[in-house]
Amino acid sequence: MPLAKNALVASLLLGLALLGGCSTWMSGSFQDPEIRLLRVETIEARLDEQLFRLHFEISNPNSRSLPVRNLSYSLFLNDIPLARNQDERSLIVPGNDVRRFGANLHTNLWRHIREITRLLEKPDQPVQYRLEGTLKAGLLFGRDVRFSRSGEIIPRDHIPE
């Protein structure tokens, strides 16, 4: 019976230690990480489906490592909803450091063909994009970090020859 009691005490101590680590991410000392879209790479562009590779960078301004459990995001082109994706990878961003990663994004632009055609009539003209999403930071009881980034792209740079 003493072995079971020791196992119970060890389990409780481990649980408290994990909760203590989680509370760091929920406390006022936590600074939100910054999520940037570095570039969009066209992998495949067919009429019925397109595949892009989005290259992200996550900066952690905190002194403690940042566990990331999930990244969900939506991509808009001139307010046209291109795609919504959820990347459930887990990664750790060390304290005061950055991590880069890529995520595939499948789209079907056919339903927006009129708007896309108008944008492509002038492929050298910049088009506005907006990336909105949520990053889940922390372990068990982490917190959601919302982000929104916008900018412009030149369509010619994303049309395969």
For 21-57, how does the pLDDT look when each residue is reduced to its tens digit (9 = 90+)? 444 444 558 899 999 888 888 899 887 888 889 899 9
Total-model pTM:
0.70
Token pair 């009129």 is found at 114
Q: pLDDT tens digits, residue range 87-143? A: 888 899 999 999 999 998 888 888 888 898 888 888 899 999 898 999 998 877 778
**Domain encompassing residue 29:** 2-158
| CATH at residue 104 | 2.60.40.10
- Quote the CA–CA distance of 56 and 52 in Å, as a whole number: 13
- Are the CB atoms for 139 and 68 separated by under 8 Å? no
User: Residue 102's closest CA among 37, 149, 153, 44?
Assistant: 37
Q: pLDDT tens digits, residue range 56-94? A: 999 999 999 999 988 999 989 888 988 889 988 889 999
Could you please report the per-residue DSSP string of 4-24? HHHHHHHHHHHHHHHHHHHHH
- Domains identified in the chain, total number: 1
